[in-house]
Amino acid sequence: MRPLLLNPLFTPVTSLAGVGPKQEKLLRYLLGREATPRLVDLLLHLPSSVIDRRARPKIRDALPGTVVTLEVTVDRHRPPPPRSSRAPYLVYASDDTGDVVLTYFRALPGYVEKLLPVGAKRYVSGALQMYDGVPQIVHPDRVVDEAAFAKLSGIDPVYPLTEGLALGSLRRAIALALQKLPSLPEWISPEIIRRCQFPPIKEALNRVHMPLELTDILPDGPFWSRLAFDELLAGQLALALVRAQLRRPAGERHAGDGRLRNKVIDALPYALTSSQRRAAAAIAEDLRQPVRMLRLLQGDVGSGKTVVALLAAAAVTEVGKQAALMAPTEILARQHIKTIAPLAERAGLRVAILTGREKGKERHEILERLDAGQIDLLVGTHALIQDDVVFKALALAVVDEQHRFGVRERLALTAKGEAVDVLVLSATPIPRTLVLTYFGDMDVSELREKPAGRQPIDTRAVPASRINEVMEAVGRALSAGKLVYWICPLVEESEAEGTDHLTDATKRFESLQKRFGDKVGLVHGQMKGTEKDRVMAQFASGEIGLLVATTVVEVGVDVPAATIMVIENAERFGLAQLHQLRGRIGRGSESSTCLLLYREPLNEMSKARLAVIRETTDGFRIAEEDLKLRGEGDVLGIRQSGLPGYRIARPDVHGQLITQARDEALRIMQDNPKLKGDRGEALRCLLYLFERDEAIPLIGAG
């Protein structure tokens, strides 16, 4: 049950004056909500910068190109002539040093007269420009009378927006939401508050949204840092609760005698690397322990995680139990089954796949076999956690690319068996600090080597002005029978505003098709699964030689014969993403080339990124560098900045708070694991506020 105290924050934004259906739709998009956003979502949407309106020069001294606040008297109005929709509405105003023109385009009749009555004194704020030698402000941001002006701080927050949503209306909605903010109990221990000099949460929210000083909205300032710590503590406490639940003594254990694992190893066309052997041994050891396994297996692109996961599944099958492997996308799930099926068959393991595509009779048959215990390993997507999916004896849950799933999905999968062991796979090597943030104190196995026979990849950065040379080189490669990926950042222009120079995949596909005919194929995320698979199969078989794609090929697509990749607008991708994409080539025995096409001029961040990616193919080093470069391109590849699953905390700024939040969560679990009493109630408020309440039912569980 959510604490009653929080109810005002969980009312929908449509309860605020001025937020109608149109605004609600835009806010849903802006705040990333599927349902109507609540007031708490608005309050946790923090400003990106501020406008300082405290400069109050006389008109004569106002500098063009700056934001100024002028105290003026309204002299006269000049409405546009009738039937001229393009002419602006002009208002002439002055002070004792000169005149200024306030310009409105497409103004509603009556609106300007009411806002700026002739003869009245008004405070007008906005960007000042010169037009025909006269100072002018087009669409002033603020026009207020003396009483309203006295209430303004002179510093206005600027928020990330979405097209169609006006800054003013977002500000108004947030100001109204702040008025409904209840007094919240303190959940941070006094010692941390003292050490970090944190203000109360109510003050922190007020000062970030209504700054009194320019520094109030800095992420490393006390107000933002307080909110970041709250968010990190909520995340760490939820992980600690899940962990305590998983760490309870488990009944019979899940590792057999190794006979099936040996069969899988014998079926492999190559020897296991030493880190694969170590990881498999550590997992087998975990499966024998009297507590449930919670292990993270991270390895670079192509380091052989799927095989280690299959060995874990074989271990539980040896004692007559079942395993499930859940992947975030259908492409990934099918990729896993492609690797697993031939090995499983030779070892006598029964495997099946279940995604949204398996329907009707086929799905029904899979579910019947699963319930009867005739499937040893089920690979699939979110489809695995639907209610009608029943395992006879699920003992191992393997979750791939875990950061794309919340705690909720993990719990839903493990709830389908008794004391289920959990193995999490990540193809993005994650720096230690982030492992703590995202997974809590998980045991970690790393696959550091590449499988034998892999060739190095030659990576070069090429300015976009040389695209014709690149196309010629691609033409020569196609004639020589080589397979080439061409990656674009967008599907269609309409996908992003202000990205006029970004090449969309559809357009690039058309231009390459003109040049190379039916050797060219296209895949992107908006295509149907069957269509994507068809094109991928044509590419894998060499029927088409050039595949134009968006980042859907980023994870798990395996075409060993592909040896060339062109990444267009490479400067727009995060480091981890470039590394993931590049990992699609260099998977066979031939040497490979990756060309990073970039637009000039490059900013410092993009230069640094492209330099790192050219220098190394070591994903662990790339992940560390990625974190150093402001955490941009997000190490876990979710958003373009900030911590995965976090809206406020940032790895570059709040790194030291991560460990403090973790230690605090562990202390709470020692002193008050059931979250009882006043502090416990306060901590429950925290978990609900930051949507980490999936963990609350676990407190009383078992």
Token digits of residue 315:
């271990």
Least confident of 260-264, 451-455, 620-624: 451-455
* DSSP bridge pairs for 401: none
Which strand (E) or helix (H) includes residue 193? helix 190-196
Asked if the model's pLDDT at residue 481 lies above 90, the reply is yes
Number of domains in the chain: 3
CA 21 to the chain's CA centroid: 27
Question: If you average pLDDT over residues 491-513, what whole number do you get?
Answer: 67
- CA separation, residue 209 to residues 38, 202, 214, 288 (Å): 17, 11, 11, 53
54-63 burial code (b ≥16 CB/10 A, e <16): ebeeebeebe
Lowest-confidence segment of 41-55, 175-189, 438-452, 661-675 by average pLDDT: 438-452
Verify that 565 and 593 share a domain, yes or no: yes
- 99: part of which helix (H) or strand (E)? strand 98-104
Element (H, E) at 406: none
Cβ atoms of residues 658 and 433 within 8 Å: yes
Do 434 and 474 belong to one domain? no
Q: Are 229 and 654 in contact (CB under 8 A)?
A: yes
Average pLDDT rounded to a whole number, residues 51-78: 92
- Residues 101-120: what's their mean pLDDT? 91
What's the pLDDT band for 634 if we cut at 50, 70, 90?
A: very low
496 in a domain, yes or no?
yes
| Domain presence at residue 452 | no
Give this prediction's pTM: 0.61
Q: Residue 402's pLDDT is what?
A: 61
Answer whether residue 290 is part of any domain: yes
Query: What residues make up the domain containing 81?
Result: 54-151
**Residue 572, domain CATH:** 3.40.50.300
In this prediction, residue 453 carries a pLDDT of 67
CB count within 10 Å of CB 140 equals: 23
> pLDDT at residue 463 above 60?
yes
Instruction: Look at residue 679 in the predicted model and tell me its pLDDT.
Output: 95
Residue 139, by phi and psi: left (phi above 0), alpha (psi -120 to 50) or beta? left
Distances (CA, A) of 388 to 232, 406, 409, 419: 35, 21, 15, 20
Measured CA to CA, the distance from residue 43 to residue 31 in angstroms comes to: 11
Which amino acid, one-letter code, is at 41? D
Residue 79: CATH number of its domain: 2.40.50.140
Residue 351 — pLDDT band, cuts 50, 70, 90? Answer: very high
Distance of CA 574 to the CA centre of its chain: 12
Report which of 577, 579, 539, 544 is spatially closest to residue 560, judged by C-alpha positions: 539
The answer to the question of residue 642 being in a domain is: no
Residue 474 and residue 370 in one domain:
no
265 and 385 both lie in a single domain: yes
Residues 420 and 346 in one domain: yes
In a domain, 34, yes or no: no
416 located within any domain = yes
Is the same domain home to 432 and 469? Answer: no
Cβ contacts of 97 within 8 Å, gap of 6 or more: 58, 59, 60, 61
Other Cβ atoms within 10 Å of 186 Cβ, number: 14
DSSP structural state of residue 490: B
Q: Is the pLDDT of residue 428 over 60?
A: yes
Total Cβ atoms within 10 A of residue 168? 11
| pLDDT at site 696 | 78
Summarised one tens digit per residue, pLDDT across range 87-105 is 899 999 999 999 999 999 8
What contacts 690, CB < 8 A, 6 or more positions away?
A: 44, 230, 231, 234, 235
pLDDT, residue 96, reads: 95
Query: What pLDDT is attached to residue 644?
Result: 55
Mean of the per-residue pLDDT values of the chain: 87
How many C-beta atoms lie closer than 10 Å to residue 263's C-beta? 16
| Whether residue 427 sits in one domain with residue 468 | no
What's the chain's length in residues?
Answer: 702
Task: Please write the tens of the pLDDT for every residue from 294-336.
Answer: 888 988 767 889 999 999 999 999 999 999 999 988 878 988 9
Highest mean pLDDT among 168-172, 174-178, 254-258: 174-178
CB 171 within 8 A of CB 159: yes
Domain boundary among 151, 173, 196: 151
pLDDT at 439: 64
> Is 495's pLDDT higher than 70?
no
The token duo for 5 is: 């105290």
Question: Could you say which of 151, 178, 196 is where a domain stops?
Answer: 151
Chain-centroid distance, C-alpha 459: 27
Tell me the mean pLDDT in the region 514-535. Answer: 87
User: Tell me: the pLDDT tens digits for 352-389?
Assistant: 999 988 999 999 999 999 999 999 999 999 899 999 99
Q: Which of 431, 456, 420 is nearest to 313 (CA)?
A: 420
Compute the average pLDDT of residues 551-558: 61
Region of 606 on the Ramachandran plot (φ > 0 left; ψ -120 to 50 alpha; else beta): alpha
Q: How far apart are CA 633 and CA 644, in angstroms?
A: 10
pLDDT at 551: 76
Output b/e per residue, 37-47; b: 16+ Cβ within 10 A. Answer: bbbbbbbbbbb
Tell whether 596 and 481 lie within a shared domain: yes
Inter-axis angle of helices 274-288 and 305-317, nearest 10: 30
Q: Are 428 and 475 in the same domain?
A: no
Indicate whether 374 and 397 sit together in one domain. yes
Same domain, 301 and 433: yes
Which of these three, 395, 424, 447, is where a domain ends? Answer: 447
Calpha distance 398→296 (Å, rounded)? 10
pLDDT category, 468, cuts 50, 70, 90? very high
Residue range 129-161, pLDDT digits in tens? 999 899 999 999 889 999 988 887 788 898 888
Least confident of 321-325, 348-352, 453-457, 633-637: 633-637
Name the 3-class secondary structure at 663: helix
Neighbours of 248 (CB within 10 A): 12
Q: Which secondary-structure segment (H or E) carries 378?
A: strand 377-380
Q: Is residue 141 part of a domain?
A: yes
DSSP letters, 673-688, are TT--HHHHHHHHHHHH
User: For residues 650 and 225, what is the distance between their CA atoms, to the nearest angstrom?
Assistant: 10
Return d(Cα 338, Cα 359) in angstroms, integer: 20
Q: List the single range of 8-12, 25-29, 211-215, 551-555 with lowest mean pLDDT.
A: 551-555
CA 554 to chain centre: 15
Q: Are residues 498 and 386 in the same domain?
A: no
pLDDT greater than 90 at residue 408: no
Rounded to whole angstroms, how far apart are CA atoms 206 and 429? 38
SS3 label, residue 264: helix
Query: What percent of the chain has a predicted confidence (pLDDT) above 90?
Result: 53
User: Is residue 426 within 8 Å of 298, Cβ to Cβ?
Assistant: yes
Residue 286 falls in which region: left (phi positive, over 0), alpha (psi -120 to 50) or beta: alpha
The span from the CA of 666 to the CA of 233, in Å, is: 10
Domain annotation covers residue 509 = yes
Is the pLDDT at 615 greater than 70? The verdict is yes
The answer to whether 232 touches 665, Cβ cutoff 8 Å, is no
**Arithmetic mean of pLDDT, 396-411:** 76
Number of H-type helices and E-type strands within the chain: 24, 21
| Low-confidence winner among 161-170, 547-556, 683-692 (lowest mean pLDDT) | 547-556
